Every structure is written in structure tokens, then in C-alpha cells.
Amino acid sequence: MATATAATTAETSAPPPAIRKQRRFTLPTVSLWAGIALISLYCLAPFYWMFVSSLKPSNAILNNELWPSSISFENYKSVFGEQNNFLYALRNSLIIASLATLLAMVVGVFAAYALARLQFRGKFLVLAAVLATAMFPGVAIVTPLFQLFSNLGWIDKYQSMIIPDISFTLPLAIWILTSFFAEMPWELEQAAKVDGCTPGKAFRLVILPLAAPGVFTTAILVFIYAWNEYLIASVMSQTQASAPVTVAIAKFTGDSQFQQPFGTQMAAGVVVTIPLVILVLLFQRRIVAGLTAGGVKG
Amino acid sequence: MRRRRMLTVSALTVAAALALSSCGGDGGDGDGAAAPAEIRGPITFAQGKDLSGELQKIIDGWNTAHANEKVKFLELPEAADEQRNSMVQNFQAKSDAYDVVATDVQWTAEFAARQWLEPLDEATFGGGDLLPAAVKTGKYDGKLYATPFNTNAAFLYYRKDLVPTPPATWAELTQACDSVAKTNKMGCYAGQFAQYEGLTVNASEVINSAGGELLKDSGKTVAVDTPEAREGLQFLVDGFEKGYIPKEAITFQEEESRRAFQQGQLLFLRNWPYVFGLANTKGPDSKIVGKFDIAPLPGKAGVGASTLGGYNLAVSSFSKNKATAKDFIKYMQSEESQQKVLTEMGFPPVLQSIYDDTALQGEFPYLKTLKEALLSAQARPASPNYNEVSLAIQTNAYAALQGQKSVDQAIKDMKAELERAAARN
Amino acid sequence: MSSATPTVDRPERSRAARGSGRRRRGATRSEGRLAFWLIVPTMATLAVIVGYPIVQAIYRSFFSDPIAGDAEFVGFENYTTALWGFERTEFWSAFWTTVFYTVSSVFLEVLIGFAMALVMNRAFRGRGLVRTSVLVPWAIPTAVTAVLWEWMLQPRGIVNAITGADIVWTGSEWWAKWAIVIADTWKTAPFIALLILAGLQIIPTELYEAAKVDGADAWRRFTTITLPLVKPALLVAVLFRILDVLRIYDLPAILTQGANDTAPLSLLVVRAAISNLQPGYGSALSTLTFLFIFLVAFLFVKLLGTNVVATQQRGVKN
């Protein structure tokens, strides 16, 4: 009995009904919790080290204590101190990543819809071409782009980073979205059309919500990519007016020219990860929400 | 009809792409060479991150006196490689965004050969009280393209509580290793041996200190295939083999080696002046406060030749306001500015007189030794293909230190790769 | 109304059953036009931002790299230098190193990622938190991750301290290579986990329930329902991971600077194009890298049939 309980997969997020309150320590349950523990350890242990290192004062940075004997916020102060202009960098990153995600999703959803739900010749060609653009080493693209944007006067402006970010994430976005849209059953659209919806509306109100897990996953991945992009940003931004956090972190310094500001970098890493974590916490509910939309049950 | 329309749009898209790209290309913002050299106006000074925060004050000194020719300080990333990339991108795009650039001493040949730097007048920028070795790093093919701003040379740091007289030759150093270091169960010597520019510095140092040479004639002739060069490299290889250089030193850059010395794990350390103040700061970071001193680097048969570090100032060929740029550089080299470079920013200045100032010697106890080191210092080989040259030195030295190549093979391979770099023109 | 048949050993049939219903062929013309306009923004962006630099790079690769003066046309010389000329040892060493990174990283990431996705798919309290924490490695900027691992792997760093080992991680060839693989796997297993999880979430529970009714055990349910239905998401994830690892740069650059034969192909490209100011040779290296990646992707798609379009058409055929 308990086996059936514990082994139910893809359950909705509602807490188990009252009758199933008694969980026995069966193998599936134990292995589930063991799995959770392992996963958390795997993902968070290095991050824990990062967090702990950010709290150590600079003269204690070398010791391997698992918890700092003296907690110091000097690294965080240094991150936000005037030397490093981090607040500007955060603002820039937010703008660049948000706009890039928004535009990439719109463009990507259009293209994926066409590829997954419409009939036309040359589909494979389009998919292949899109994929091919993801095969070139990024560094080869940087110099020509710099020259192009330099002549357009876009250096040190947001668009010089937003547009390349969109281009680099489109292949992944399109491939993921296409595969999700293609999985959707046809009858839904047909049923919607019978009910009087245009194809566009059918797509928006029926397919899109169902593909929500794929759509939001893609959005999160695009955002994270744009947030963490360094190569293009390092070349296109010159001052704090447009430099995102990745560039700002690269400019961190220690007290001397040879000192690697490990503590400050770790503090910056923690600070930079928090918005992403919040974003994911918000969006991960949506990944589940798609399932409870109940479209499949008709 | 539909297909024709689609083809038209596709063709237009491609054409737009090409058009945009060609309005990129080499139009650029003026071809720098044509701009007359006497124009004045506001300029931008691009330098790596200023850690002291004091550079802006020095610049403010200029700005108050020159309201129409203000200097804007543009901070580049801290890492030298990133600074170089930034400058290269701008030069390749022929942009006038940077007027005055702070260039590493090794970039002069590279930038000058590609006509990215404006030649400077030797009388104004190449003589006087400036340190000769530093001035030399600004020359390429007989002309002066960059002039010193700050400089650097390395010392031998030694534990004076364990070794009262510093070793003057390598033989004396290894002797101390066999006796003192062994009894105290500590590593003996370390420099910087990870595969990066620091290894090029250390490798060229030992080769020069043994009387060898790497390149000659502005990088056109390869001179490394000599017994002296082999002896130099052998000193380090022996260190790893015999254990007086700890094996973890293969990952050392400046900071790791400094820490090892400060934690009492090393008897001798080869490093830059910045270590002096840090090692004398009381705290858990340093166990050797007051227990160490500095001396010139030892060589094979006498004093060794430290590698010259530091930064020069140069004017971009694409700058619009070259006259202002040159005057600003002169200002940065003035005695007043150079004193601040030492006292406020903590860098070795480039005017010899400052080293002889007794008051400053009291404040910075290493000044005398530093001047000695600077006068006998040698720069790394100059070449328009410096990166290839540096890689050739680094990778082969690293392989030799790890025992993957014999010293003889490493030098031979280094020669072949250096020849290839020198042949490119 | 889903008509999932009770027997689940032929998922094709159940998918086809879902997809029953013919498309009206008559809509093709306007469809084609609509499709065209929907795809134009994508193609335009990619053409300008990626296509143009690639074309320029390939063109430049046929010219020399003089220091001063104009570049001359040298045909395939840059390519032959890399493949069997002066730089061949370096090139082929980087080639096989890149292959090693790709095979080990992707293999480990899929294993770990799939396991994580399966666990995260279950219902338990705090599921949201686990999902969020899983994304942490992926969310940290690569440069910060590289610095973090560089410190953890120092000879006197935390990893050696905890395991009691005395390994000079970044100072020896194979330890360094595995260090890079470990750091990369840590960082990107979440990427795969997330995509697989999204794929798992779309699988209707009725299929599992029906299978249970039929008496299928957990393993059988996994192999006959989960695997096939998650295949599209999994294959896209793996394909893109392969493309990414074949171009890996940051981790080796920061951890080892490419020493000890740990340099991947991208590092050679950066070295040539940016450090050595050799755009021609650098472009030739990137084109060679591109061709190699193209070949891999082609084989992958051919062998494993990541034909998202075919999924569509299969539904139609019924």
C-alpha cells in the first residue's frame, strides 16, 4: 500500500490527502530522501564554500575552516564600495538579461510555432541553419561584431549586448520550443477551432499553457545565459554605464596588483546568484502549473 | 508569387546584412595617420584598474590647470591580458576612443610594429633622469614609441633569522638549501612557475642571470641555443628534481609564492617589491614579520639580472588630440607626479633621483636595493610577436620543470618556436 | 480526450492515437506564408549577428597574418599548418583533449542530470527549494565558478584537505583534465536536469496508472513510458551540451591556462586570434573547429534521429 503511495510520479504539487498521512520508511521513500540529500549536497557544497569564503576576512582566506572563526563583511563592503560600482553593474545586467530574454522568447516562440505546427518546405534546412550558428566558437565572432557596432556607435550601449545575446540563445530556444510544441496533440487545436478560435488564439490559449514547462524552462535558461555572458560584454562595454556584473567582477582587484581578490569575487558570486535564485523560485511554480492546467484531460 | 516574394525578402535580408557590414569595415573614425599632430583638446587615458584610488588625484592636478584639455581616466580591467585585448580591439577598429594608453613594457614592439603608436621625441621622453633600462623598453627599431611611467624589478627575499648573509650566487643558494632548509624542514626556494607570463619572467631571468640571451635585434635573431641558457634553465630544473623547490611550486603565481614564504614554508623567495610591506604586516597572514630581508637576485657567477616589469605611456596613432596627449605624458613623468606614484600608489617610480632621496628611503626601506636591481635589470625579449615568443618560452620551460623534456630538448624546441615567431613579418 | 491504450509497450501507438485526426491539406499556401513571416525575425538576426562574422572569418582564413602591411592570399596554408604543418602537435593534442572533455562531461552530466530530474519530479514538501538549489551551479557565472574551483583545487586547498590527498591538481595532465571535467559537470548537470524535468512534466499520469494496472514494475514503466517520451527533450539537451563542450573555453583557461595538454580547441583559437594577433590562422582554427562540430552534430542527428519535425509528421501520417 505504502509502495503505491510513494511510487506515484508526476503528482501535482498538492500535499498528499489526509488518508495517506502515514508514511512508512519504505525503500522508495528512503531512497527518495537520500536522493534529495545527495542532490542538495552535490549542488550546494561548492556554493557553500563560496558563501563561507566570502565571509572570511582577507587574512584568513587561506585556511580551510568550514565555518569562519571570525565573520567579516569586508568582502561585501568591497563589492558594493565605490571602487567597484557594483550596483550599476547589477542594474545593467538586469536590463540586458530581461530585454534579451523577452525578445528572444518572442522571436523564438514565433519561429518554433512555425516549425512545429505549420507545413512548409525546408523545415529541416531552417533547423539545421539555426543549429549551425551555434557551432562556431564565440571568439571568432567577437572582432567583426565589435567593428560593426563600433561604426554604428553602439559601443558601451545596451543594444550591443542584447542583440548578440538573443542571437546566441535563439538556437537553443528554438530547438527546445519546437520539440515541446511538436509534442502537443492536434486534437486540442482542432477542438479549439471547432469552438470558434482562430489558429493564433488556439495557440495562445491552448497550446502555450500546455507547453508552459518548456516555455518557462527556456526563458530561465535564456535569462541565465544572458546574465552570465562575458565575452561579448567585455568587448562592447567600456564604462559603468553599460558594464554588466560579469565584466564588473573581472575588474575586481585585491590590495595589490598581483593579489587575486578571491574573497571579493566570491562575495560577488553570491550576490549575483541571488537574483537568479529568486527568479527561478518564482518561475518554477509555473513549470508545474502547466500540468495542472488540465488540458489533456479534455 | 509567394515564393518570389519570399526570395525577395530573403535577398533583402542578406543584402542588409552585407550593407551593414560594409558600413562597418575600415571606414572607421578617421585614419589616425592623417590627423595633424598639433591639435589639442580633451583626451582619454586608458589604464588598468587603479588600486590605490590616488591616480585620479594626480590627474586632477592636470585638469585644474588645463580646463580645455581635461583628461578622462578610463579604467580597464585589472588583468594585463584584458587590458591588452581592450587596446587591441580599439586599435584594430582604428577608434579614437583611447588617446593615451598605459602599456606593459612588453607591448611596445607589438603595437609599434603595427603602427598603432605615435613616435615620441627622444630628447623629451628618452633621456634625462629616466631609468635607462626602462627607457629601452619603449624603443622599437631604433625609434621611441613609449616612455616609462612606473617600473618594477624583483628581489631575493630571504629569512635573515636563518641565513644571516644572503647568497650571492646559485652555488651559495643551493648550499644553504642543503644545510639550513633541510635542518629546518622547509622548502628552500620558489619563484613563479605556473604556465603564464610569470614563468616567462622567471625563465628569462635565470637564462639572463647565467649569461645567456633569448632574442636579439628587436626580436629578429634567436640567441637562446647556448650552454649559458641551458645552465640557467638547469638551475630551476635541478631545484625541482632535488626537491629544494617544493613540487607544489609548479602552480605558483606571485600570490601563492608570497603566501608560502609568509607562512614560513620557504627559505628564499623571488618576487616583486610589493611583498615587502605585506610580509611585514602583523597578523595571521604573516609569520615572518621582521624576520626577513631583501637582496639582489643571485646569478650563476655573481649578481643575477632581474627581469624588468612596469608600465609605459604611449600615444595612440588614432588620437585626435596628440599635442595634449604628449604634454599629459610629460606631466605624469614630472618629479611631483612620480613622487606620488611611489608614495600614494606604491609603484616604483622611473626617475633615478627619487631613489636617492633619504627621507623616502626611510619610508620605503627597499628603495636602495630596488635601485640596484633596476640598474642591472634586463627586459624580456622584445618582439612584434611577443605573445608567441612568451608562449614558446613558457611552454618549454614548464615542460622542462615538470621533467617532461630534458633541458637540452626544451632549449632546442624553444629555439625552433622562437625562430618561427621571429620569421613572421 | 486522450485515448491512451492500456498496452504501453508501443509508445508510438499511444502517441499516434493522441495525434489522430487529419490535417487539412488545403491550408498549406497561407500556412507557408505565415510560417515565412514568423521565421524571418530569427533568420534576420542570426544572419547579421552570426552569419556575417562567420562568413568574414572563413574568408579571412585564406589570408596571411602580416605584422604591418596587407594580408596576402595564401589559400589553404593556414589549414595545412594546423593539420599537418608546424602546429600539428598542438592542434591534434587539443583535438583529442576536446573529445575527451566532451565524452566524459556529457556522459556524466546525463547520468547525474537524469537522476536529479527523476527525483525532482516527485511530490514532496520543499520540492520548490530543491529545484531552485539544483539551478545554483548553473546560475553562477562561469568565471566565478572557475575561480572557485581553482581555489578549491589548490595543493593546500579544501579538496585536498577534506580528502586527505596531496594531489597537485592543476599541475599534472590527467588530474587537471579530470578537474576540468568535474568542474564542468558540476556546473552543467543542472541544465540537463532542468530540461529533462520539463520533459517529464508533460507525461500524463494516466499512462503510468494504466501501466501499473497492467502490472508493469518501476523499471518497465521507466523504459517503456519515461524514456521514450522524454527522448525529445533529452536529445535536444544532449545535442546542445555536446555543442557547448566542444567549444569549452573558460574553465581550462582559468584552471590551467591550457598547460599540460589540457588546452581545448577554443583555447587555441583565442590564443591565435587574440593573443598572437593572427586573425587568419585563428579563423582557420575556428573554421576547422566548426567543421568538426558540424560533423558531430550531423552524426548525432542521423544516428539518434532528433527529428522534431518527424514527430510532427508521424502524427500526420496516421
Angle at C271 between CA C266 and CA C276, to 5 degrees: 150
- Assess if residue B15 is contained within a domain: no
Mutate to test the interface with C, among B143, B145, B195 (most CBs of C within 10 A): B195
8 A C-beta contact, residue B86 and residue B66: no
Query: Nearest 10 degrees: CA dihedral of B332, B336, B341, B347?
Result: 110
Number of C-beta neighbours around residue A35 at 10 A: 17
8 A C-beta contact, residue B155 and residue B296: yes
- Give the pLDDT of residue A285: 67
- List chain A residues with CB under 8 Å of C38: 110-111, 113-114, 118
For residues B317 and B333, membership in a common domain is answered with: yes
pLDDT > 60? residue B37: no
Q: Which amino acid belongs to residue C124? A: F
- Assess if residue B223 is contained within a domain: yes
Of A96, A51, A104, nearest to A228 by C-alpha is A96
Q: Give the span between the Cα atoms of C9 and C1, in whole angstroms.
A: 21
Are B248 and C171 an interchain contact pair (Cβ–Cβ within 8 Å)? yes
For residues B335 and B406, membership in a common domain is answered with: no
DSSP codes, A18-72: GGG------HHHHHHHHHHHHHHHHHHHHHHHHHHHHTS-GGGTTS--SS-SS--
- Assess if residue B183 is contained within a domain: yes
Residue-wise pLDDT tens digits, C15-55: 443 433 444 444 567 777 888 889 999 999 999 999 888 99
8 A C-beta contact, residue B109 and residue B219: yes
Mean pLDDT of C266-294: 90
Q: What percent of chain B has pLDDT over 90?
A: 61
Residue-wise pLDDT tens digits, B128-152: 899 999 999 999 988 999 999 999 9
Residue B403, CB half-sphere, CA atoms under 13 Å: how many? 10
For residues B231 and B328, membership in a common domain is answered with: no
- List chain B residues with CB under 8 Å of C274: 85, 88
Residue-wise pLDDT tens digits, C89-102: 899 999 999 999 99
Could you tell me the domains of chain A?
24-77 (no CATH), 85-251 (1.10.3720.10)
pLDDT > 50? residue C74: yes
CA-based radius of gyration for chain C: 24
For residues B289 and B325, membership in a common domain is answered with: no
Total domains in chain B come to: 2
For residues B122 and B224, membership in a common domain is answered with: no
Cell numbers found for residue A211: 507547453
CB pairs under 8 A between B and C: 84
- Assess if residue B13 is contained within a domain: no
| Tally of residues, chain A | 298
The domain limits of chain C are 94-274+283-317
Of B345, B340, B336, B342, nearest to B355 by C-alpha is B342
Mutate to test the interface with B, among C277, C278, C281, C283 (most CBs of B within 10 A): C277
pTM of this structure: 0.82
- List chain A residues with CB under 8 Å of B92: 143, 147
Mutate to test the interface with C, among B1, B13, B263 (most CBs of C within 10 A): B13
Residue-wise pLDDT tens digits, B39-91: 888 999 999 888 778 899 999 999 999 988 999 999 887 778 889 988 998 89
Residue-wise pLDDT tens digits, A162-175: 999 999 999 989 98
Of B84, B138, B153, B115, nearest to B387 by C-alpha is B84
pLDDT > 50? residue C4: no
Which range among A36-45, A273-282, B27-36, C282-291 has the greatest average pLDDT? C282-291
Of A264, C149, A74, A259, nearest to B78 by C-alpha is A259
β-bridge mates for residue B43, sequence order: B71
Of B57, B151, B43, nearest to B99 by C-alpha is B43
Of C143, C219, C238, nearest to A248 by C-alpha is C143
pLDDT > 70? residue B6: no
- Give the pLDDT of residue A261: 77
Residues of C at the B interface (Cβ-Cβ below 8 Å)? 29, 32-33, 36, 40, 43-44, 47-48, 51-52, 56, 65-68, 86, 154-156, 168, 170-172, 256-260, 271, 274-277
Rounded mean pLDDT of chain B? 87
- Give the pLDDT of residue A230: 86
- Give the pLDDT of residue B169: 93
For residues B365 and B392, membership in a common domain is answered with: no
Query: CA dist B44 to A111, A270, B40, B328, Å?
Result: 45, 34, 12, 11
- Give the pLDDT of residue A24: 58
Query: CA dist C265 to A136, C111, C150, Å?
Result: 12, 25, 21
- Assess if residue B73 is contained within a domain: yes
For residues B107 and B135, membership in a common domain is answered with: yes
Number of C-beta neighbours around residue C118 at 10 A: 19
For residues B165 and B267, membership in a common domain is answered with: yes
- List chain A residues with CB under 8 Å of B78: 250-253, 257
For residues B367 and B414, membership in a common domain is answered with: no
**Helical H segments across chain A, by residue range:** 2-6, 27-54, 74-80, 86-117, 123-132, 138-152, 159-183, 186-194, 199-202, 208-210, 212-228, 231-236, 245-250, 262-292
Separation in Å, CA of C48 to nearest CA in chain A: 9
pLDDT > 60? residue C301: yes
> Any chain C CB within 8 A of the CB of A285?
yes
Work out the pLDDT band at C11, boundaries 50, 70, 90. very low
For residues B144 and B108, membership in a common domain is answered with: yes
Residue in A64, A214, A268 closest to C158 by CB: A64
Of C182, B49, C146, nearest to A269 by C-alpha is C146
Residue-range definition of the domain harbouring residue B271: 155-307+385-423
10-residue block means of pLDDT along chain A (298 residues)? 39 46 65 84 89 83 78 84 77 94 94 87 87 85 85 89 94 89 80 78 78 84 89 85 85 67 85 81 62 36
Three-state helix/strand/coil letters over chain B: CHHHHHHHHHHHHHHHHHHHHHCCCCCCCCCHHHCCCCCCCCEEEEEECCCCCCHHHHHHHHHHHCCCCCEEEEEECCCHHHHHHHHHHHHHCCCCCCCEEEEEHHHHHHHHHCCCECCCCHHHHCCCCECHHHHHCCEECCEECEEEEEEECCEEEEECCCCCCCCCEHHHHHHHHHHHHHHCCCEEEECCCCCCHHHHHHHHHHHHHCCCCCEECCCCEECCCCHHHHHHHHHHHHHHHHCCCCHHHHHCCHHHHHHHHHCCCEEEEEECCHHHHHHCCCECCECCCCCEEEECCEECCCECCCECEEEEEEEECCCCCHHHHHHHHHHHCCHHHHHHHHHCCCCCCCEHHHHCCHHHHHHCCCHHHHHHHHHCCECCCCCCCHHHHHHHHHHHHHHHHCCCCCHHHHHHHHHHHHHHHHHCC
For residues B293 and B364, membership in a common domain is answered with: no
Ordered strands of the B155-159 beta sheet: B187-190, B266-271, B155-159, B292-295
- List chain A residues with CB under 8 Å of B272: 258
Q: Which amino acid belongs to residue C103? A: V
Decide which of B338, B355, B375 is a domain's last residue. Answer: B375
- Assess if residue B215 is contained within a domain: yes
Are C259 and B21 an interchain contact pair (Cβ–Cβ within 8 Å)? no
- List chain B residues with CB under 8 Å of C170: 194, 251
Are B21 and A256 an interchain contact pair (Cβ–Cβ within 8 Å)? no
Q: What percent of chain B has pLDDT over 70?
A: 91
Q: Which residue of B has its CA nearest to A61?
A: B285
For residues B267 and B342, membership in a common domain is answered with: no
Cell numbers found for residue C254: 582559468
Are C260 and B85 an interchain contact pair (Cβ–Cβ within 8 Å)? no
CATH number reported for the structural domain that contains residue B69 in this entry: 3.40.190.10
Mean pLDDT of B17-34: 43
Are B251 and C56 an interchain contact pair (Cβ–Cβ within 8 Å)? no
pLDDT > 50? residue B23: no
Q: In this predicted complex, what is the ipTM?
A: 0.78
Q: Give, as one character, the DSSP assignment of residue C226.
A: I
Span C94-274+283-317: which CATH code? 1.10.3720.10
| Residue C232 backbone phi and psi in degrees, to 5 | -60, -50
Lowest mean pLDDT among A199-203, B115-119, B154-158, C116-120: A199-203
- Assess if residue B6 is contained within a domain: no
- Assess if residue B17 is contained within a domain: no
pLDDT > 50? residue C13: no
Work out the pLDDT band at C315, boundaries 50, 70, 90. very low
